[in-house]
């Protein structure tokens, strides 16, 4: 007995999962919503009496729900197809274009920021180089003046000052040669 009931349940489930039958039941219930609502809300005796007194009309109970379910089964996939065509043909390219424009604008803004940042660094470096050049030349002049007026006891201090001046001159020469390297590489 259990196998018969199970077989009937499986058969009903497979039938109800059929899109046409499901659409037909949905359309029939939507056309008879008032009667279905009353049927669900009354007691058992009244339900039995409603079922006994129901007049089945071929046009209202079969043809209208059949036409409505066919319209539903045709229109929903058609609307879905139109939406997919609209989205892939117009919405997605617009989204990609907007995204691309945002990305290009971000890259340009970042490039401008980097350019301004590097320009600021180069300006500071050029200014520092000019300051260092003038300081080294001034130090060299002072060193020559100090050499003429220094005593033998100050000779050690003079040598230290001369060594520092020489090292600063080397740093300045290195900076000058590194300024010339990019132009030589470009040629």
Q: Which residues of the chain have pLDDT under 70?
A: 12, 15-16, 151-153, 178-187
pLDDT digits (tens, 9 = 90+) for 75-130: 888 898 888 888 888 888 888 888 888 787 787 788 888 878 888 777 787 888 88
Tokens found for residue 167: 């090292």
Closest by Cα among 78, 57, 70, 82 to 27: 70
The whole-number pLDDT of residue 185 equals 46
């Amino acid at each position: 007995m259990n196998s018969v009931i199970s077989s009937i349940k499986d058969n009903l489930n497979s039938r109800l999962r059929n899109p046409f039958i499901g659409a037909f039941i949905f359309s029939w219930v939507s056309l008879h919503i008032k009667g279905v609502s009353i049927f669900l809300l009354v007691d058992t005796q009244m339900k039995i009496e409603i079922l006994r007194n129901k007049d089945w009309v071929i046009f209202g109970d079969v043809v209208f729900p059949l036409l409505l379910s066919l319209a539903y089964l045709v229109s929903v996939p058609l609307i879905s197809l139109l939406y997919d065509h609209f989205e892939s043909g117009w919405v997605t390219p617009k989204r990609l274009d907007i995204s691309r424009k945002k990305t290009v604008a971000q890259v340009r803004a970042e490039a401008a920021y980097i350019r301004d940042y590097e320009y600021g660094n180069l300006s500071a470096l050029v200014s520092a180089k000019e300051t260092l050049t003038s300081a080294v030349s001034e130090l060299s002049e002072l060193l020559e003046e100090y050499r003429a007026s220094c005593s033998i006891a100050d000779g050690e201090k003079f040598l230290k000052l001369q060594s520092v001046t020489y090292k600063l001159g080397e740093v300045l020469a290195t900076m000058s040669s590194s300024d010339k390297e990019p132009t030589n590489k470009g040629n």
